Chains A and B, each alone.
Chain A
Amino acid sequence: MSDPDADLVRRVGAGDSGAAETLVRKHLTRIHALAQRMLGDRAEAEDVAQEVFFRAWREAPKWVPGRAKFETWMHRVALNLCYDRLRRRRETTDPDAGIAMPDPAPGADEMWHAQQRSQRVQSALAALPERQRAAIALCHFEEMSQADAAASLNLSVDALESLLARGRRTLRASLADMKETGRGHG
């Protein structure tokens, strides 16, 4: 397996501070975005991204190239940390919290209207089952390759496609009224 980060990770493991900074510049934004899309909370997303890199620093000196791409390993760590946090949330809060739909009543102000539509989409994404949300975050928003997304989710590509199709079907149903509204406005 070819890993474009293999040399970078080796240098990080050998204590090269420049390589560590390059790895951060290259991957922190995507890891942070993934956590933000999974958790919908900036502070929690930063905590997850920080923990992923803390673990990366510990892993780099003993990383064996060829087993997996370091990037997919980092995404998998990020997703597992997100799943843990979402599980803790479910145990301590109302399961419907955070996915309530805002009032869809049309407003006079166009900006308010756009914010409401954006919030609706975000809420529909947040209401998806975790793994469907993760699959859509990786493939649709991060535009990760199928193989890398499947590896990050620890799934086969077939299982990934099934998750994606179910997720998109659910989104289409929950946003059906917006589509009509969008066409009416479009």
Chain B
Amino acid sequence: MDRDRFEAIVAAYGADSRRWPAGEREAALRFVAGDDDLADARALDALLALAPSPPPPSDLLVARVLREAARSRQSNLAPAIALAACMVMGVIVGFGVGLRAPSGEDVDWMLTAAFEAPDSDWIEGEL
């Protein structure tokens, strides 16, 4: 820390050492020999203290922001809900198709009808 750096800190952050960089505060304070060192900066700080304070956020704003947070949570959950719904529907449809599927005996009959030679009685009857 030298005198130039001290002056640069005061020029940037003003006279109140609370606003000075924490890592340089202690060293900078050693350069404060008298009130004249900070007089101009202190005068400007005093003027800035006259600036009106911003009003606090309204209750309506707080409510709007929190309502949007809830809406955002729902929209974030929507894809997961849709996926879960698809999985449930898949299980239901699969189970339903399973109930309507042919039994083992039915399959045997169908295979017989498709690939085996017709009975001789049936052939004679036809002739």
Contacts and interface: CB of A to CB of B under 8 A. Distances in A.
A145 B48 CA distance: 19
The secondary-structure label for the interface of chain A is helix
A122 B52 contact: yes
A42 B48 CA distance: 20
A53 to B, nearest CB: 4
Interface size class of A (residues with CB under 8 A): 35 or more
B64 interface: yes
Contacts of B21: 146, 157
Interface stretch (B69-77, B83-91, B111-119): B69-77
Contacts, number: 117
Contact of A139 (B19, B54, B61, B64): B19
B123 interface: no
A21 B57 contact: no
Contact of B11 (A12, A139, A165): A165
Interface size class of B (residues with CB under 8 A): 35 or more
Contacts of B62: 24, 28
Nearest to A147: B21
Contact of A117 (B50, B54, B69, B73): B50
A60 to B, nearest CB: 8
A121 B47 contact: yes
A131 to B, nearest CB: 14
A25 to B, nearest CB: 8
A72 interface: no
A28 B11 contact: no
The secondary-structure label for the interface of chain B is helix
B19 A140 contact: yes
Contact of B8 (A15, A32, A121, A161): A161
Contact of A143 (B18, B51, B64): B18
A168 B66 contact: no
17 contacts: A20-B69, A24-B69, A46-B57, A46-B58, A49-B65, A50-B61, A57-B68, A121-B51, A122-B51, A140-B45, A141-B48, A145-B22, A160-B12, A161-B12, A168-B14, A179-B44, A182-B47
Given A21-B69, A179-B47, 8 more contacts: A17-B69, A28-B57, A28-B61, A28-B62, A46-B58, A49-B65, A164-B13, A168-B12
Interface of A: 12, 15, 17, 20-21, 24, 28-29, 32-33, 36-37, 42, 45-46, 49-50, 53-54, 57-58, 61, 114, 117-118, 121-122, 125, 136, 139-141, 143, 145-146, 157, 160-162, 164-165, 168-169, 171-172, 175, 178-179, 182-183
